[in-house]
Structure 1
């Protein structure tokens, strides 16, 4: 008998291109739908419980102690969002070609806890640098004001100042500063442990105290900034600069109109370009693409020579430059890292990624409006009751699609980089 024919080779996977990004996003969503829903639902349950607890704790005797506990709970609320986002990104990794290629190459598959420990610190830094926590704060304050609307309304007739909405700004400055200093010292301790590979949860704890330092210090920082602004307003140099700007408004044609246009357009640039790149940085960190490093951004460019010269300067000069540019680095290095990553897949991938990101968020908002208009109801308080479930569905769809879009974009860029024989983090 003739020997059996060898099995036919499996058909090669279709190459990924920028134009396949929407389809690849939906494929990832279809294969990981259950895990994404469970992660999001669990996160929303924990988040809602923490918010409700914060509004309950905020009012009563010993207000300063209560404000301190509220700020602690708010820190947990933000940390929960970070953990859920990392968990959702990690749950879809099995559907990515890049991850399957790594597994086929006998590369170790990182656990969820390892991804959390490595990425939450940078995630927290990004979250603070771009003030993404403002939406969480607004939601908490709105919930507190809604729960106390009857007491505050009745108290207004008796001349009693309402307590609703002050739970994040009521902590006294000296107490805020003391707790912020303690949080900073603990952050530095756990950061040192994390850098030296000590402690399994050192990265997560560092992220927690990074958030705590930022949030507890809000009141103290606000007072210091206000005092500095008042002091600067009385300086001759400040008055001179203001005079120059007023003179420029009057003498340079289009000067005022130009800056007004920039102020109007800038929020859209951040929402459509910077924000998606920032979230893509988080996805790349979860999947192990690159580190949070300035040299990783400038490597291979003309600025790499400048960085080499800076490394040869005096230690005091390097320290001064590093500290003076910390805020710039925390804001712009992550998007720059993500931009280098996504351009590995070509300019079309960058454009398609940003377009899909905007379509997801704008589309879900319009879908929410359409659903409310379609259902419609003249009954009092109808949407006060049924608005929350609709908001949950909208946020669920937007969250799942965004996570799958980030994963698909990373997968296409990483796969094309691998096919070109280039290391992703290079």
Structure 2
């Protein structure tokens, strides 16, 4: 843990101005996009919903830039993947990092309630615009029509339709993007469009899943079995107070696990996907009678149909979840000591943010609640976050670099080192937006070629 702390300190001291600038820029763009989305959504629901994912994308781009900025202070990662020297390779690496980071970042963004917060802000601001316009229209003796506006996200035809269109567009670019001509920067423009479409469908899907989970949870809470469980708890703890304390303590512990353990691991996973580096790990292989029977049935399908299914599965699932799985395997192989130390450092930084807010509030002294603390609290939280967040990024990057270094040294001593690097560029391992190799690589291609020959 000491080596991680030293590396984090060096990274933070060397790069905090750039980290602060990127974070400030991403936060500002996020705020402005939400305001623009509410203004547009107050007039047209589709326009407002289409702008909402851009707010989350602004934060993702800022974090991708922050993680890439500190790469020159990560000797372990530099040894496996030297920094690209060509500007085009750097742009491709940045684009790959954004594309690969969308899925885990938006999943984290939804799990911690940030998407719902964005939607609430968007809806409230849009209603404020409509109130102003409606009041102005009433003063001038005109009617104000609000039909087809705002339309809060949810399980409705509009949201599902936009999700399907975005997913199909992203799939089409993934399938036929290599045919885009290189003239007049068209490939770069299509790459930006692909990033937006990926962000749009993942954002909408994450919100819909969150909405469905809320519906299922609400349904379960109203079932008779839940009422019986509550009665059982009251009956058991009513006459035995220590049991009630233990019950409440277990519930509190399970609730805190998300913030104490899952949050730092989620950030380390996002960093792993952005950097796209993973030391060779043994992939578990499914086995068993049922799986063997399923594989045999799958092998009886004609070769051409199997190729179509394999391509669809690779583009839909494997290419997106493989980097996430590689990052998780990397953490697993790092061992509990390194990951435990990282979680401790991450928690200390998180507590530092809280104590900073408490210290500043004590230094300012007592003031009027509505006239001072309500507006000042927003500014204090923003300033404290801008100061602490670069340190958090430094801790994450240093931990990842230490993890890669330790595993590479261990594998090198065993004579079994393999790093998944594509073209000396930092991106998402095996998730390039185009020209991706499915599982099995050349061996699978040769197998398919033989199958085609046999079909003929």
Calculate the TM-score normalised by the size of structure 1.
0.69
Aligned partner of 1:3 in structure 2 is: none
Aligned partner of 1:270 in structure 2 is: 258
* Mapping for residues 311-330 of structure 1, pairs under 5 Å: 312-315=295-298
**Larger RCO of the pair (alpha carbons < 8 Å, separation 6+):** 2
* Mapping for residues 164-183 of structure 1, pairs under 5 Å: 167=150, 169=152, 173-183=156-166
Q: CA deviation at 1:68?
A: 1.6
Aligned partner of 1:423 in structure 2 is: 418
Q: Deviations over 1:26-69 (max 9, x none)?
A: 1101111221122112212211211221232333xxx5xx2222
**Does the C-alpha gap of structure 1 residues 86 and 382 become closer, same or farther in structure 2, counting only changes over 3 Å?**
same
CA contact 2:170–2:194 (8 Å) conserved in 1: yes
Q: Which moved more, 1:178-187 or 1:97-106?
A: 97-106
Q: CA deviation at 1:385?
A: 3.9
- Once residues 417 and 224 of structure 1 are traced to their aligned partners in structure 2, the CA distance between those partners, rounded to angstroms, is 40
**Equivalent position to 2:331, from 342, 351, 373:** 342
Q: CA deviation at 1:185?
A: 1.1
- Once residues 229 and 361 of structure 1 are traced to their aligned partners in structure 2, the CA distance between those partners, rounded to angstroms, is 29
Q: CA deviation at 1:405?
A: 1.1
> How many residue pairs are counted as aligned between the two chains?
377
1:357 maps onto 2:315 in alignment: no
- Once residues 362 and 194 of structure 1 are traced to their aligned partners in structure 2, the CA distance between those partners, rounded to angstroms, is 46
Query: Structure 1: which 5+ runs fail to align?
Result: 1-17, 156-162
**Does the C-alpha gap of structure 1 residues 107 and 137 become closer, same or farther in structure 2, counting only changes over 3 Å?**
same
Aligned partner of 1:304 in structure 2 is: 285
Aligned partner of 2:72 in structure 1 is: 94
- SS of residue matched to 2:287: helix
- Once residues 210 and 331 of structure 2 are traced to their aligned partners in structure 1, the CA distance between those partners, rounded to angstroms, is 37
* Mapping for residues 202-241 of structure 1, pairs under 5 Å: 205-216=193-204
Aligned partner of 1:36 in structure 2 is: 19
**Equivalent position to 1:287, from 253, 275, 280:** 275
- SS of residue matched to 2:33: helix
- Once residues 253 and 231 of structure 2 are traced to their aligned partners in structure 1, the CA distance between those partners, rounded to angstroms, is 19
**Equivalent position to 1:84, from 54, 62, 65:** 62
Aligned partner of 2:117 in structure 1 is: 138
Q: CA deviation at 1:85?
A: 0.7
- Once residues 336 and 304 of structure 1 are traced to their aligned partners in structure 2, the CA distance between those partners, rounded to angstroms, is 14
- Once residues 334 and 259 of structure 1 are traced to their aligned partners in structure 2, the CA distance between those partners, rounded to angstroms, is 38
Q: Deviations over 1:269-303 (max 9, x none)?
A: 22222232222122223323049xxxx7xx536x3
**Does the C-alpha gap of structure 1 residues 106 and 334 become closer, same or farther in structure 2, counting only changes over 3 Å?**
closer
Query: Structure 2: which 5+ runs fail to align?
Result: 135-145, 182-186, 238-242, 422-456
Q: Deviations over 1:196-245 (max 9, x none)?
A: 99955766644432332244568877998899999x99xxxx99xx7699
Q: CA deviation at 1:350?
A: 0.6
1:117 maps onto 2:105 in alignment: no
Q: Deviations over 1:317-363 (max 9, x none)?
A: 9979x98xx999989x7776434323554432111111111221232
Q: CA deviation at 1:188?
A: 1.6
Calculate the TM-score normalised by the size of structure 2.
0.65
1:398 maps onto 2:393 in alignment: no
- SS of residue matched to 1:306: coil
- Once residues 416 and 25 of structure 1 are traced to their aligned partners in structure 2, the CA distance between those partners, rounded to angstroms, is 16
- Once residues 31 and 135 of structure 1 are traced to their aligned partners in structure 2, the CA distance between those partners, rounded to angstroms, is 30
**Does the C-alpha gap of structure 1 residues 330 and 373 become closer, same or farther in structure 2, counting only changes over 3 Å?**
farther
CA contact 2:41–2:49 (8 Å) conserved in 1: no
Aligned partner of 2:377 in structure 1 is: 387
CA contact 1:121–1:203 (8 Å) conserved in 2: no
* Mapping for residues 6-45 of structure 1, pairs under 5 Å: 18-45=1-28
CA contact 1:281–1:338 (8 Å) conserved in 2: yes
Aligned partner of 1:410 in structure 2 is: 400
- SS of residue matched to 1:274: helix
CA contact 2:367–2:373 (8 Å) conserved in 1: no
- Once residues 106 and 384 of structure 2 are traced to their aligned partners in structure 1, the CA distance between those partners, rounded to angstroms, is 25
**Equivalent position to 1:129, from 101, 107, 119:** 107
